[in-house]
Amino acid sequence: MSRERFTILLSPIGVKDNELIAVVKNSLLLRFNASIIVERKVSMGYLIDFYDERREQVNAENLITNLRREMPSNPLMRILFLIDADGYVSGLNFVFGIASYGWGGIVFLQRLKPEFYGLPSQETLFRVRVVKESLHELGHSLGLTHCNERTCVMRFSNTIWEVDTKSPDYCNRCKLLIERSYPGLIRVTI
15-53: burial string, b at 16+ Cβ within 10 Å, e else:
bebeebbebbbebbeebbbbebeeeeebeeebbeebeee
Pair type for strands 97-100 and 104-108: antiparallel
Separation between Cα atoms, residue 187 and residue 69, nearest integer Å: 30
70 is catalytic: no
Catalytic one of 56, 137, 162, 179: 137
Secondary structure element (H or E) that encloses residue 105, with its range: strand 104-108
Separation between Cα atoms, residue 76 and residue 7, nearest integer Å: 6
Q: Which of 79, 55, 77 is nearest to 66 (CA)?
A: 79
Active site amino acids: 137
